[in-house]
Chains A and B, each alone.
Chain A
C-alpha cells in the first residue's frame, strides 16, 4: 500500500511530493525570517532605485552617497533595484518589517506605494526624490522636487551661443512632463540668443538603450545639429559616442561621470546631483524636529547647476574652448538673474 502511495505521490523524475512540500515549507519559513535577521544587524537606511545602476549618473551617485552616509553614521545600507512597479509594495513592506529607519526611493511611480505604506510604518522615515507633493502630507514622508529645467535653460543659452547656426538638439529617455519642461526651457533660452534658432526634440523610449541614443544623435548631427542636451541616463552614453565620431559636435550631459566618455565632446553638464540630495535629505532625518512635507530644490542649492566641463576645457578643441570661456560670463549672469528673481523661466510640460 505504501509503495502504491509512493508511486502516486512521486513524479517521473523521482521527486516525492512530500519531500518537495517539506523543502518548500522550510524555504518559506527562512524567507519569512529574513526581515528579522536584517533587523538584528542594526538600523537600516535603504535605497530602492527604479532605474538600473551603472548609469554613470543619478543611480550610481545615490548608491555612492548612501554608502557614504551609512558609513559615517553607522547605518546598515540596503540597496534594492525595483525594476517592476508590481514589486514596489512588497519591497517597501519587507524593508518596513525589517525596521528600516529611512527608506529612500525615486520618482512619482513610487508615490502610491509610499502613501499606502507610510502610515503602517510610522517609525520609518520615507524620502521620495523627484516627486510631487503628497496631499495631504504625511508626517513621516518627505517629497523632493527639482527645478532641473532651470539648468536646462542655461544649457539652452550656452548651446545657442556655441552653435554657429543655432541648431540644437534634445534627447530624452521618455516623454514625461518634467522632461518636456526641460526641452521647452532650452527652446525658450535659445530664442533669446538667436530668434531663428531651432531645437530638435527626440526621445529614445528608454533610459537604458545607448544603441538607440547613438542612432538618434547620429541622425541629428548629420542633419546639422551642433549641440545636444541629453536627458536619458544610461542612454546618454550612446549620444556621447555619436558626438565623439564627428569633430566639432558638442553634448551637454547630466553627470560629471560623463566627462571621461567624451573629453572633447562633453562641453558641459546640467548637473542634478541626486546623490548629494539623498545625502542632504537622509542627514536631515537625523536632526531633531524633522517632519514630513515637500522640499523644492533648484539652482543655488548645490544640487542643480550648469557646469562647464573641466575635462573639455583641458582637452577640447582650443577654438571651442575659447568660445565657451568667452560666453560663460553670460551664463553666470543669467544664473544670477534667475536666483534673484529678475529672470523668470517658464515651466511648460507640453511639447
Chain B
C-alpha cells in the first residue's frame, strides 16, 4: 500500500504543481493552455542547467527564469497583441515542445537524451518508505496551503478573483487587471518550472523530447475539475495520478486478461469524466474569459 502511495505521489506531484499554475491563471481570467509548453521548458532547463552549472539551485533558478519569460511572452501576446488566449496557449505549447528539442539538440547534439549527473535532493532515509521522493513532494502540501491562503484570505487574492470574474468592476476600483494577470502568469511560471523540475529530476535525472506527454493538459483538466480552487485542483490532479497508477497496477496484475490500451487510457477517461462531472455540478464550462461574462483583454 505504501508503495502505491509513493507511486501516486511521485507521478502526481508534477501534475499538482502544473495544475496550480493553471488554477491561478484561471482565477485571473485566463484559460491557460500553455501549461504543457511551459512545463517542458522547466524540464529541459532544469536538466541542462544541472549539466552546465553543476548546481541544482542554479538549475532551478534558470528553469524559473525561463518559465517566467515564457509566461510573460504569453501575457504579452494575449494582453498587448490581443490574441485569443486559447490559441496563444496552444502556440506556446508548440513553442515549448519544439524549442526544448531544438535547445537540447543544439547544445548536446542529437546523439542522446540529456542525462544529468544528479537530480533533486531526496527526502532521505529518515522518511522511511518515502525516502526516494524529492523535496518537491514534501513541499507540495505547503505550497497548496500557501496558495489557498493567498487566494482566499488576502486582499490580493480577492483582487485576482475580481479580475477574473468582473474585470470592469475591478478596474473601477483602481485595480489593473493586466498587471494582476501578469503577476498570476509569472507565479504560474514558477510553479510550472517546479513541476517540470520534479518530472525531469525528481527521480529520473533525464530530459527526453516531449517527455511531458500531455501532463500539462491533464493539469488544465484538473483546474476545471477542481473548479479553480487551490485544494480541489490539487486533489483533482492527484486523483488523475491515482487512476494512472491503478492502470499500471492493473496491467501488471491482470496481465493480458484486460486490453492494455484500455488500462492505459484510464487517466484520460478519468480526465474526461472529471470535466463532465465538473460541468454537471457547476452548470458547464464558462466562456473563454474564465468565470467572467465580460471580456477585458
Q: Is A245 part of the binding interface, using a Cβ–Cβ cutoff of 8 Å? A: yes
- Other-chain residue from B81, B101, B112, B248 in contact with A219 (beta carbon distance below 8 A): B248
Residue of A nearest to B259 (CB): A175
Residues of chain B with a CB closer than 8 A to A261's CB: 115
**Interface pick from B68-76, B198-206, B286-294:** B198-206
Q: Is A55 part of the binding interface, using a Cβ–Cβ cutoff of 8 Å? A: yes
- The distance from the CB of B199 to the nearest CB of chain A, in whole angstroms, is 6
Residue of B nearest to A81 (CB): B101
Q: Is B261 part of the binding interface, using a Cβ–Cβ cutoff of 8 Å? A: yes
- The distance from the CB of A278 to the nearest CB of chain B, in whole angstroms, is 14
Q: Is B170 part of the binding interface, using a Cβ–Cβ cutoff of 8 Å? A: no
**Interface pick from A207-215, A315-323, A329-337:** A207-215
Q: Is B235 part of the binding interface, using a Cβ–Cβ cutoff of 8 Å? A: no
Name the residue in A81, A205, A223, A238 with the highest tally of chain B Cβ atoms < 10 Å from its Cβ. Answer: A205
Q: Are A203 and B260 in contact, CB atoms less than 8 angstroms apart? A: yes
Give the distance in Å from the alpha carbon of A202 to the alpha carbon of B254 in the complex: 10
Q: Is A220 part of the binding interface, using a Cβ–Cβ cutoff of 8 Å? A: yes
Residue of A nearest to B264 (CB): A205
Residues of chain A with a CB closer than 8 A to B256's CB: 201, 351
Residues of A294-351 contacting chain B, CB below 8 A: 351
Contacts A53-B110, A56-B113, A237-B208 known; A211 to B105 CB distance under 8 Å? no
Q: Are B204 and A211 in contact, CB atoms less than 8 angstroms apart? A: yes
Q: Is A64 part of the binding interface, using a Cβ–Cβ cutoff of 8 Å? A: yes
Q: Are B211 and A60 in contact, CB atoms less than 8 angstroms apart? A: no
- A202-239: CB near B (< 8 Å → 1, else 0) gives 11111011111011101110110000000000100110
Q: Are B260 and A60 in contact, CB atoms less than 8 angstroms apart? A: no
- The distance from the CB of A72 to the nearest CB of chain B, in whole angstroms, is 18
Give the distance in Å from the alpha carbon of A219 to the alpha carbon of B261 in the complex: 18
Q: Is B172 part of the binding interface, using a Cβ–Cβ cutoff of 8 Å? A: no
Q: Is A269 part of the binding interface, using a Cβ–Cβ cutoff of 8 Å? A: no
- The distance from the CB of B158 to the nearest CB of chain A, in whole angstroms, is 33
Residues of chain A with a CB closer than 8 A to B64's CB: none
- A108-141: CB near B (< 8 Å → 1, else 0) gives 0000000000000000000000000000000000
- B195-236: CB near A (< 8 Å → 1, else 0) gives 000010001111011110100000000000000000000000
- The distance from the CB of B202 to the nearest CB of chain A, in whole angstroms, is 9
Q: Is B245 part of the binding interface, using a Cβ–Cβ cutoff of 8 Å? A: yes
Q: Are A54 and B7 in contact, CB atoms less than 8 angstroms apart? A: no
Residue of A nearest to B198 (CB): A211
Q: Are A206 and B213 in contact, CB atoms less than 8 angstroms apart? A: yes
Name the residue in B81, B82, B206 with the highest tally of chain A Cβ atoms < 10 Å from its Cβ. Answer: B206
Residues of B231-262 contacting chain A, CB below 8 A: 244-245, 248-249, 251-252, 255-256, 260-261
Q: Is B104 part of the binding interface, using a Cβ–Cβ cutoff of 8 Å? A: yes
Residues of A31-62 contacting chain B, CB below 8 A: 52-56, 60
Residues of chain B with a CB closer than 8 A to A206's CB: 213
Q: Are B110 and A60 in contact, CB atoms less than 8 angstroms apart? A: yes
Q: Is A257 part of the binding interface, using a Cβ–Cβ cutoff of 8 Å? A: yes
Q: Is A63 part of the binding interface, using a Cβ–Cβ cutoff of 8 Å? A: yes
Q: Is A200 part of the binding interface, using a Cβ–Cβ cutoff of 8 Å? A: yes
Contacts A56-B113, A60-B110, A237-B115 known; A208 to B204 CB distance under 8 Å? no
- Other-chain residue from A56, A200, A203, A214 in contact with B112 (beta carbon distance below 8 A): A56
- The distance from the CB of B39 to the nearest CB of chain A, in whole angstroms, is 12
Residues of A within 8 A of B (CB): 13, 52-56, 60, 63-64, 79, 81, 175, 200-206, 208-212, 214-216, 218-220, 222-223, 234, 237-238, 241, 245, 257, 261, 351
Can you pick out 20 interface pairs between chain A and chain B where the beta carbons lie within 8 Å of each other? Answer: A13-B81, A53-B101, A54-B110, A54-B112, A54-B209, A201-B260, A203-B261, A205-B264, A208-B211, A210-B206, A214-B204, A215-B7, A215-B248, A218-B3, A219-B3, A234-B113, A238-B204, A241-B206, A245-B203, A257-B111
